[in-house]
Amino acid sequence: MSPSERVSVVIPCHNAARYIAAALRSVLAQQEVQTEVLVVDDGSTDGSAEIVERGFPSVRLIRQANAGVANARNRGIAEAQGAWIAFIDADDIWLPGKLRLQLSELASTPSSRMICSAWYVWESMDPEPDPELMQFLAAESPGGRWDGPSGDIYPDLLLDCHVWTSTVLACRDLLNELGGFDCSLRIGEDYDLWLRASRLTSILRVPLPLALYRHHADNITRKVPAANHKGEVIERAIRRWGYLSPAGRKAGRREVARGLSRSWSDFAGAHLIGGQPEVARKAAMHALATDPGQLLAWTVLLKSWWRLLRRVS
């Protein structure tokens, strides 16, 4: 790809007034890359849109009624004018040079239509990262703990979500071909898209931390989920495509089964702790049907039965 091609940066935003300015500053600090920045305000009620409107006149603000993050990202893709689309969530941070490094890697592998990178999990509610942390990450060398699957990664994605949304840069034509994010998925819509993308293109990875993934109390992924989105997304992929990648790599069935069983066991355990033993029991049964050797599932199953028996006695 040509470095002169514009990158459209899509930022879904819902009640992120505390963080959106810092996220935007990290995007606008990207150098040597022509960017178009779009914030899709998904029905915020905390003044997020007004912060963008007043403080960032170069950013295109799109307002819509609350429809969820998948819908907001799809709206941004539809409105974008760049040949390439990058994503960042409104509470995350990019490191300087993120887009430049990814574009350089794509230029060396022109057949690839998507790239991601490693990331750093950041436990903080401070809007801005500590400069010392940014300096430390900027000085990191590629490889080691930053390594991860790159290229034909469908089999790897059946084991875990090795792609994080705020690191992704993808060809707009690819996203349109895929139909964007699945709006029926409240959680896991990104994982689902990466699985589908891996059937159409290699997915490259820069083995450096190019973004900060913020963990804080309001993260949607920290709440007890109503469904095991990870397990359901993987199972749907297996039903559709099996274990073999388009390039001929095959995921190990036993390894995939263990990972799936663990996801259902974790889901069961969360609902047992949350006071829903019947949900926990069904999920534990699903885990054991996938892998009878999953010890956590047996533990949750026995405890959920015990709690249900105590309710009726």
Does residue 206 contact residue 95 with C-beta atoms inside 8 Å?
Answer: no
Check residue 284 and give its pLDDT: 96
Check residue 3 and give its pLDDT: 41
217-246 average pLDDT score: 86
Is the model's pLDDT at 211 over the cut of 90? yes
Check residue 217 and give its pLDDT: 62
Burial letters for 193-203: b for 16+ Cβ neighbours within 10 Å, e otherwise? Answer: bbbbbbeebbb
Q: What are phi and psi of 141, to 5 degrees?
A: -95, 150
Does residue 53 contact residue 61 with C-beta atoms inside 8 Å?
Answer: yes
- Residue 1 — pLDDT band, cuts 50, 70, 90? very low
42-71 average pLDDT score: 98
Q: How many percent of the chain have pLDDT more than 70?
A: 96
Which tokens is 311 given? 């309710």
Is the model's pLDDT at 2 over the cut of 50? no
pLDDT tens-place string over residues 60-108: 999 999 999 999 999 999 999 999 999 999 999 999 999 999 999 999 9
pLDDT tens-place string over residues 101-145: 999 999 999 999 999 999 999 999 999 999 999 999 999 999 899
* CA dist., res. 14 & res. 139, Å (int): 33
pLDDT tens-place string over residues 278-296: 999 999 999 999 999 999 9
Check residue 186 and give its pLDDT: 85
Check residue 274 and give its pLDDT: 92
Q: Architecture of domain 7-222 in CATH?
A: Alpha-Beta Complex (3.90)
Check residue 5 and give its pLDDT: 75
Question: Model pTM?
Answer: 0.93
